[in-house]
A and B are shown apart, each in its own frame.
Chain A
């Protein structure tokens, strides 16, 4: 049928980005192209992809069979074919829908946010290239094609983080993101190659890999699972590869919203869900994933409580929420994990965009303690941010409540009470640091009463409203049966074979109450400390938490410094003083015995070249005559 349209979901943003890139170069080299022309190409791409995604959604609704489109033979070696193939199943299309929807809104927002930037065209070139990569990642039908998107996402985030490249700090942040992601990619590649040899004999697409893995020894499967996990950790900024995410806030705020909230970082969660057939067979590795998630969630939440930069608080909250998702997918609750990916996309994009609006209004101020009183100045931003904060804190009936509840239920139902407790503590902290942000920025007394606010365009506020509606409604696709709802998302993602939970209804109800209580406790503490915060005194933070547990410094000491020293040792000492001496010594001795040394050292290049040729000819002739 029209399966080829699957490829067009990726191709549309890709083509749009190529057009934008060419136009941008033309614009700076020849004649200036107005922003509106760039916008036309930029903003239509996610829209078209979304519409295509919807059409595939309805096809899957009618007939749940996987739709596969093979565009061409990507590589064929030794009779082994790898196709440039696309796959639409319930998981990938679900991802496509919210990536393009939320992505589209962020595009609109960015068209307002970036409107005075010289690199408007370049920005959307990167943006759509990013979108195309992310969609390829999701729609690929084999790990290797997924990897193309996976790395594309990485490089685009590099480009976008170091967008203001003239400041070397921003580029360093970009480098850090790229390298940390590459450490993850190392794991991904090792996993792919092991899979290829052990499970890939019938083909390298997911369906064949699933069949192929049936007979692979469990130790090998665990190895593959762990190596893949490294990839997931790198992309999704979990312990220990999270260091890039806070620094990644160096990019423009729409970038943070798109990449570091709604899409890129969720790729790791998606990957684990995509390989559910693998992780189902190795529950121990799954448990390990859940622990990594739990500790990342708690760790990030603790750091977030003491940050003052509005974007960094949100960055750590992203890491923390991703931790929840890892708990879910690690314990086999794939649909719960993806559900949280979905709700998180709405409220986190909204939080970032709201933060961006405040930052723009205050002329690029990012310290929350220098804001204050924004409730009256920007009521719309306040109202939408309030909804998002309620959602992320897990207050019913906002979106985050349902998904987080399902994750914690999964942890409890699996008997992993330790993880469950960490999850609940993190929920308290989440509500605390999010309401701290909200109260300080919007309620606190005005830091500087009479300052002129930068105006916000419609392009920037309209997406906020839509996402606020999303943050209210998104949770209702997964209302637990207990509350008389229907877990649509669980049904839709049936193919993932998420673990069935057997928790008694009364206990489930208690747990739910406990989650709400946790959120309320966090809210109340924040209320007490920060609701009427005196903004004249900016708190001085010091100590372990403020310094993010010195992780960056430790990494620098252990890896970066050592590697630099080794590099200097090799290139300036070992090579010059040792290896070169030996090799040159041998060769000099060799040539000296050939008795042409006097000529060689005459340092006359032409003479030298001539003598070399002559020497060789003479030696050849001599040898030929002698050996006759």
Chain B
């Protein structure tokens, strides 16, 4: 069985993880191996990106029968939507590693490597069982990281996030199995391949609705959508930097990805029918979480709410049923991952140096750490959606999309320009700029590695804001394919 490039991208980190586990690598050795791996993967992903053709169909396909009697296949492939998320992941991970460089244990690095395998596996899977397998495999090491390396009431956090996730996962698993059985009943053989599952015709409307929400609950928890967000605060606040970075900038986006990859093609009619619900849940979340963020004292909790606010907006975009909203959502996935990821790394450093998460106990950081402040400012302006950053391009497109869906939705969603600005600037004033007499003398400015890690994020935020089209053309055919072929919407 010769593996294709996607398989290498998936399994290289796992291979490195097991190798370092067995061989007598220390923490440093494991870290260096992990970093090297992430660079190699970045190179591989770049070549995939470069060779990706401008169509909306799956590319780089790999298909092997795994468990033939149950029709479970090892089936991989990517389209434009997965491609940009892949590129995002490949860019973010080496940056994060540079930030996590010092003071982590061997177990931490092995967990990180395994997470990377889980994430890319989830992203490439074109078989429902395989997807489910990677989806769970990705979560396990995250819980390990939070449980073992987190702060505060971390056991509670872990249990809570797990209880939520297990609930969602079970709904999804039952839905997947139900779909498999239905396929068997209709066609007489087993298959969980997405290509086959979408051919099912024998479901009643009630069955379809149940299954639709079975998937949606799993993804809604992961994203999180209102009202499944309450696990978020504890978890983000108590997670170690690496964990919260992965959760916020990558895994939350995989929830959105799951909706687009599976829910949309399997239930295209319901997707259209229920779109208004999700457009409005998204907009509601945008405003609700935005307001909730304002008075948060804990800076990580504030970012958790801020994150949820934007993810709601992404969901609005993908359910807007037009090309503007959906491309905007794809763009916001990237923009938000870079900015939030960057912010969590920066805040993680602040927490590490000072041991403080409370905004009123901070202040005067700008004077101590100017380079830190510059990067913080860039990420913040991206979240705020300032033109010249990719945050603006994506927000503008989603508002356009929402307006195309319904003018009321468009006008209400335009309030996004006020929401993030209000709490972000206030936080920036109190936590970073103003000197409030707190002792922040232990705060250090960024070192060379940290600058190196932050530069690609800052560069992309601005480059994608000034020249968005250069990043757009790869994904647009895919979105057109979704709309024209899958959802059958003609403009």
Give the B-binding residues of A (Cβ under 8 A).
25, 28-29, 72-78, 84, 144, 147-148, 150-152, 155, 158, 162, 165-168, 171-172, 174-175, 178-179, 182-183, 185-186, 189-190, 193-194, 196-197, 563-564, 566-568, 570-572, 575-576, 579-580, 582-584, 586-588, 590-591, 594, 600, 603, 605-606, 608-609, 612-613, 615-616, 619-620, 623-624, 627
Query: In the assembled complex, how far is the CB of residue A202 from the closest CB belonging to chain B, in whole angstroms?
Result: 16
What total of chain B residues lie within 8 Å of the partner, measured CB to CB? 86
By the criterion CB–CB under 8 Å, are B173 and A74 in contact?
A: no
Query: In the assembled complex, how far is the CB of residue B278 from the closest CB belonging to chain A, in whole angstroms?
Result: 18
Name A189's closest neighbour in chain B (CB-CB): B414
Q: Which of B384-399 contact A (CB under 8 A)?
A: 386-388, 392-393, 396-397, 399
By the criterion CB–CB under 8 Å, are A584 and B476 in contact?
A: no
Q: Which 5 A-B pairs have the closest CB atoms?
A: A605-B147, A168-B434, A580-B230, A148-B387, A567-B294
By the criterion CB–CB under 8 Å, are A29 and B434 in contact?
A: no
By the criterion CB–CB under 8 Å, are B324 and A78 in contact?
A: yes
CB-CB under 8 A from A172, the residues of chain B are: 429
Name B400's closest neighbour in chain A (CB-CB): A193
Q: Does B381 contact A (CB under 8 A)?
A: yes
By the criterion CB–CB under 8 Å, are A582 and B467 in contact?
A: no
- Knowing A168-B436, A564-B295, A600-B159, the reply to whether A186 touches B414 (Cβ < 8 A) is yes
Q: Does B305 contact A (CB under 8 A)?
A: yes
Partner of A25, one of B148, B288, B370, B399: B370
Q: Whole-angstrom distance between the alpha carbons of A172 and B425 in the complex?
A: 9
CB-CB under 8 A from B386, the residues of chain A are: 151-152, 155
Q: Does B54 contact A (CB under 8 A)?
A: no
Provide a sorted-by-A list of 20 A–B residue pairs whose CB atoms are within 8 angstroms. A75-B472, A147-B387, A152-B387, A155-B386, A175-B425, A179-B421, A190-B411, A193-B400, A194-B407, A196-B400, A196-B403, A197-B404, A583-B164, A591-B163, A605-B147, A606-B147, A609-B147, A616-B169, A620-B177, A627-B181
CB-CB under 8 A from A175, the residues of chain B are: 425-426, 429
Given A166-B364, A570-B291, A571-B293, 20 other A-B residues pairs in contact with their CB atoms under 8 A: A76-B473, A76-B476, A78-B324, A147-B387, A148-B387, A151-B386, A152-B388, A165-B433, A168-B436, A186-B418, A190-B410, A196-B403, A197-B407, A567-B293, A583-B230, A591-B163, A600-B163, A606-B144, A613-B140, A616-B169
CB-CB under 8 A from B404, the residues of chain A are: 197
By the criterion CB–CB under 8 Å, are B417 and A185 in contact?
A: yes
Q: Whole-angstrom distance between the alpha carbons of A563 and B480 in the complex?
A: 40
Digitize B141-177: 1 where CB-to-A-CB distance is under 8 Å, 0 elsewhere. Answer: 0011001100000110011101110110110011001
Give the A-binding residues of B (Cβ under 8 A).
70, 136, 140, 143-144, 147-148, 154-155, 158-160, 162-164, 166-167, 169-170, 173-174, 177, 180-181, 227-230, 233, 288, 291-296, 301, 305, 323-324, 327, 364, 366-367, 370-371, 374, 381, 386-388, 392-393, 396-397, 399-400, 403-404, 407, 410-411, 414-415, 417-418, 421-422, 425-426, 428-430, 433-436, 445, 467-469, 472-473, 476, 480, 491
By the criterion CB–CB under 8 Å, are A25 and B292 in contact?
A: no
Q: Whole-angstrom distance between the alpha carbons of A197 and B406 in the complex?
A: 11
- Knowing A571-B293, A605-B155, the reply to whether A73 touches B469 (Cβ < 8 A) is yes
Partner of A567, one of B292, B371, B399: B292
By the criterion CB–CB under 8 Å, are A193 and B425 in contact?
A: no
Q: Whole-angstrom distance between the alpha carbons of A107 and B327 in the complex?
A: 42
By the criterion CB–CB under 8 Å, are B434 and A571 in contact?
A: no
By the criterion CB–CB under 8 Å, are A587 and B173 in contact?
A: no
CB-CB under 8 A from A148, the residues of chain B are: 387-388, 392
By the criterion CB–CB under 8 Å, are B434 and A165 in contact?
A: yes
Q: Whole-angstrom distance between the alpha carbons of A572 and B291 in the complex?
A: 12
CB-CB under 8 A from A616, the residues of chain B are: 136, 166, 169-170, 173
Q: Whole-angstrom distance between the alpha carbons of A566 and B159 in the complex?
A: 29
Q: Whole-angstrom distance between the alpha carbons of A176 and B6 in the complex?
A: 50
Most buried by A among B144, B167, B371: B167
By the criterion CB–CB under 8 Å, are B147 and A74 in contact?
A: no
CB-CB under 8 A from A189, the residues of chain B are: 396, 399, 414, 417
Name B326's closest neighbour in chain A (CB-CB): A77
Q: Whole-angstrom distance between the alpha carbons of A196 and B322 in the complex?
A: 15
By the criterion CB–CB under 8 Å, are B305 and A571 in contact?
A: yes
Query: In the assembled complex, how far is the CB of residue A177 from the closest CB belonging to chain B, in whole angstroms?
Result: 10
Name B328's closest neighbour in chain A (CB-CB): A77
By the criterion CB–CB under 8 Å, are A609 and B162 in contact?
A: yes
By the criterion CB–CB under 8 Å, are B163 and A587 in contact?
A: yes
By the criterion CB–CB under 8 Å, are A587 and B159 in contact?
A: no
Q: Whole-angstrom distance between the alpha carbons of A609 and B154 in the complex?
A: 14
By the criterion CB–CB under 8 Å, are B163 and A588 in contact?
A: yes
- Knowing A185-B417, A567-B295, the reply to whether A162 touches B433 (Cβ < 8 A) is yes
Most buried by B among A151, A179, A576, A591: A151
Most buried by B among A182, A571, A580, A620: A571
Q: Whole-angstrom distance between the alpha carbons of A89 and B237 in the complex?
A: 54
By the criterion CB–CB under 8 Å, are B381 and A178 in contact?
A: no
Q: Whole-angstrom distance between the alpha carbons of A555 and B490 in the complex?
A: 47
CB-CB under 8 A from B143, the residues of chain A are: 605, 608-609, 612
Q: Whole-angstrom distance between the alpha carbons of A564 and B296 in the complex?
A: 10
CB-CB under 8 A from A165, the residues of chain B are: 366, 433-434
By the criterion CB–CB under 8 Å, are A570 and B292 in contact?
A: yes
By the criterion CB–CB under 8 Å, are B473 and A584 in contact?
A: no
By the criterion CB–CB under 8 Å, are A605 and B422 in contact?
A: no
By the criterion CB–CB under 8 Å, are B429 and A168 in contact?
A: yes
By the criterion CB–CB under 8 Å, are A575 and B292 in contact?
A: yes
Query: In the assembled complex, how far is the CB of residue B326 from the closest CB belonging to chain A, in whole angstroms?
Result: 10
By the criterion CB–CB under 8 Å, are B158 and A608 in contact?
A: yes
Name B164's closest neighbour in chain A (CB-CB): A587
Q: Whole-angstrom distance between the alpha carbons of A623 and B176 in the complex?
A: 11
Query: In the assembled complex, how far is the CB of residue B455 from the closest CB belonging to chain A, in whole angstroms?
Result: 12
CB-CB under 8 A from A186, the residues of chain B are: 414-415, 417-418
- Knowing A193-B399, A612-B162, the reply to whether A178 touches B421 (Cβ < 8 A) is yes
Q: Whole-angstrom distance between the alpha carbons of A613 and B65 in the complex?
A: 24
CB-CB under 8 A from B166, the residues of chain A are: 591, 612, 615-616
Q: Whole-angstrom distance between the alpha carbons of A612 and B396 in the complex?
A: 42
CB-CB under 8 A from A600, the residues of chain B are: 159, 163
Q: Whole-angstrom distance between the alpha carbons of A568 and B295 in the complex?
A: 6
- Knowing A166-B364, A564-B295, the reply to whether A193 touches B410 (Cβ < 8 A) is yes
By the criterion CB–CB under 8 Å, are A193 and B148 in contact?
A: no
Query: In the assembled complex, how far is the CB of residue A460 from the closest CB belonging to chain B, in whole angstroms?
Result: 28
Query: In the assembled complex, how far is the CB of residue A623 from the closest CB belonging to chain B, in whole angstroms?
Result: 5
By the criterion CB–CB under 8 Å, are A190 and B414 in contact?
A: yes
By the criterion CB–CB under 8 Å, are B136 and A613 in contact?
A: yes
By the criterion CB–CB under 8 Å, are B400 and A166 in contact?
A: no
By the criterion CB–CB under 8 Å, are B155 and A603 in contact?
A: yes
CB-CB under 8 A from A624, the residues of chain B are: 70, 177
By the criterion CB–CB under 8 Å, are A182 and B421 in contact?
A: yes
Query: In the assembled complex, how far is the CB of residue A11 from the closest CB belonging to chain B, in whole angstroms?
Result: 12
CB-CB under 8 A from A168, the residues of chain B are: 429-430, 433-436
Q: Whole-angstrom distance between the alpha carbons of A603 and B156 in the complex?
A: 8
By the criterion CB–CB under 8 Å, are A77 and B397 in contact?
A: yes
Q: Whole-angstrom distance between the alpha carbons of A568 and B291 in the complex?
A: 9
By the criterion CB–CB under 8 Å, are A579 and B230 in contact?
A: yes
Partner of A166, one of B148, B367, B374, B392: B367
By the criterion CB–CB under 8 Å, are B469 and A166 in contact?
A: no
Q: Whole-angstrom distance between the alpha carbons of A84 and B388 in the complex?
A: 12
Q: Whole-angstrom distance between the alpha carbons of A77 and B397 in the complex?
A: 9
Q: Whole-angstrom distance between the alpha carbons of A171 and B445 in the complex?
A: 22
Query: In the assembled complex, how far is the CB of residue A195 from the closest CB belonging to chain B, in whole angstroms?
Result: 11
Q: Whole-angstrom distance between the alpha carbons of A155 and B476 in the complex?
A: 31
CB-CB under 8 A from B392, the residues of chain A are: 148, 151
Query: In the assembled complex, how far is the CB of residue B170 from the closest CB belonging to chain A, in whole angstroms?
Result: 7
CB-CB under 8 A from B148, the residues of chain A are: 605-606
By the criterion CB–CB under 8 Å, are B181 and A74 in contact?
A: no
- Knowing A75-B468, A609-B143, the reply to whether A566 touches B396 (Cβ < 8 A) is no
Query: In the assembled complex, how far is the CB of residue A619 from the closest CB belonging to chain B, in whole angstroms?
Result: 7
By the criterion CB–CB under 8 Å, are A77 and B433 in contact?
A: no
CB-CB under 8 A from B293, the residues of chain A are: 567, 571
